[in-house]
Structure 1
Amino acid sequence: MTQIPHGKLETTTFYEQVGGEETFRRLVRRFYEGVAGDPVLRPMYPEEDLGPAEDRFALFLMQYWGGPRTYSENRGHPRLRMRHNPFRVDREAHDAWLRHMRDAVDSLDLSPHHEKQLWDYMVYAAASMINTPD
């Protein structure tokens, strides 16, 4: 049996395993391409340019999955429910969000294991943002 010397165990994060920043930027770019034309979701983004929202979301996802902590350094704790509270997030918004996210996740061509892990998180996150009964 081979022993791993103490302090030598290398681990990689999900962020690293799926391709790092480039992968998350592609994911979020594709997602916001769908949001830009969506009549349910677009009104939730008061900024004329979706670029700042795209950047914030990419930084959040990169940090969540083990990448740089830039999101928290710039914006503090994510507080996702609080940040989404000013917007009406009902089942219709939930479904629209997941529809665009499904397209974005599929566009990455991840391994089945990574795709499932990412998608399971997105489904959980979308459900947790609902703040208005149907």
Structure 2
Amino acid sequence: MEELPNIYERLGADNLQLLVDYFYDLVFTDEQLAPLFSNTPKEVIKNKQLLFLTQFLGGPGAYSELYGHPKMRARHMPHEITESKAIAWLQCMNKAVYRLPIDEQLKKDLFSAFPKMAFHMVNTEK
């Protein structure tokens, strides 16, 4: 039986780069999210996200090779992540996904990969 392509294979590296670019254009101007990223150069943030999403969506594991196991919740613990910030993050991701030049089903499949992860990052009640 032939294995179906994963989201990374269906999306492709070029569209994933577009997603990261669109997403951070929104994040860096979002009043709730922008302060979370103020201490690191934007290109460093975008590159790490690209490597992480490549691996998260089923592509090569370059993130783990460079930075070790993702441990995303632990890496985000120094930052105050509220439910409202998780929702803002998801809204930015949703807008970025739906700007991509891909078919509607892939947009749905791609976005559906994010809500569980976003809410898993919440570490502060407000």
Q: Taking structure 2 as the reference length, what is the TM-score of the superposition?
A: 0.89
**Of residues 105, 118, 121 in structure 1, which corresponds to 2:113?**
121
Code of the aligned partner of 1:79: K
Question: What is the Cα deviation at residue 24 of structure 1?
Answer: 0.9
RMSD over aligned Cα atoms: 1.7
Please list, as runs of the form range in 1=range in 2, the aligned pairs for 1:13-52 lying within 5 A after superposition: 13-18=6-11, 20-47=12-39, 49-52=41-44
Q: 1:92-103 to 2 correspondence within 5 Å?
A: 92-103=84-95
* Paired residue secondary structure (1:24): helix
Structure 1 position 40, deviation (Å)? 1.1
1:52 aligned partner, one-letter code: V
Q: What are the superposed Cα offsets for residues 13-58 of structure 1, whole Å, 9 maximum, x if unpaired?
A: 321212x211111101101001111121111113353111111111
In structure 1, the gaps of 5 or more residues are none
Comparing 52-61 with 103-112, greater Cα deviation is found at: 103-112
In 1, distance between residues paired with 2:58 and 2:113?
14
Cα distance, 1:112 vs structure 2: 2.9
Identity over aligned residues, as a percent? Answer: 33
- In structure 2, the gaps of 5 or more residues are none
Find the partner of 2:65 among 73, 77, 97: 73
Greater radius of gyration (CA): 1
Deviation at 1:80, TM superposition (A): 0.4
Post-superposition CA distance 1:88-119 (Å, at most 9, x none): 11122112111111110101143233222211
Q: How many residues align?
A: 126
Secondary structure of the residue aligned to 1:132 is coil
